[in-house]
Homo-oligomer: A and B are copies of this chain.
């Protein structure tokens, strides 16, 4: 029998190389998330293939990957377009977010409290970014914080869903004019929520989470209504 290499198996993911399609998808993803590719932009196969020096086939595979993450939409015989979020989409995203994060909070009822380490760490990163005035980083940490909350449910699929939602949320964040003004109050409430989780006040945490997401949704939807038209 071979020795016990379970510890190594945990790092198996680091072995995974990536295909050209995956790398292309990653590049496009970053551009979309950071707003360098505006929503609604048509992604021409020929133009992009030339720009990135990959073939149309490879590019099309990358498009499929991005469509998974709902960052682009694919219309038959018309091509792929950078996703444009409607206020309805934002509301929908927050509905799913509530379901997933609520599952995390509920799981804490009968789970070891040391699972909160990831939540704590994300919150700390957000606070550090705040002191540096880097509100972009605060936004990133905020997403990680909420992914950690959902992660309390200890479910790969929930984590995957949240990761996808996080990418979509980036698009939504792009709609708010001031990152500082938007994130600052919610960072405070992240701290409140984390406190409730730490002290085991689950009922109150559920209530706070519900209100938190409701308020965030409202802020973004209103910002989109003003901005968009």
Q: A residues touching B (Cβ–Cβ < 8 Å)?
A: 16-19, 57, 60-61, 64-65, 68, 76, 92-93, 95-96, 98-100, 102-103, 153-158, 161, 165
Known A16-B76, A19-B76, A76-B17: A96·B65 in contact at CB below 8 Å? no
Question: So how many copies of this chain end up in the complex?
Answer: 2
**How far in angstroms is the closest Cβ of chain B from A191?**
25
Q: Which residues of B contact A154 (CB under 8 A)?
A: 95
A165 to B157, CA, bound (A): 10
* Nearest Cβ on chain B to A214's Cβ, whole angstroms: 12
A23 to B: closest C-beta gap in Å:
12
Partner of A103, one of B64, B95, B157: B95
- Contact (Cβ within 8 A) B157 A96: yes
User: Is the beta-carbon distance between B156 and A92 smaller than 8 angstroms?
Assistant: yes
Q: Which of B102, B153, B161 contacts A161 (CB 8 A)?
A: B161
Q: Please judge, given known A-B contacts A76-B19, A103-B102, whether A95 and B64 are in contact too, CB under 8 Å.
A: no
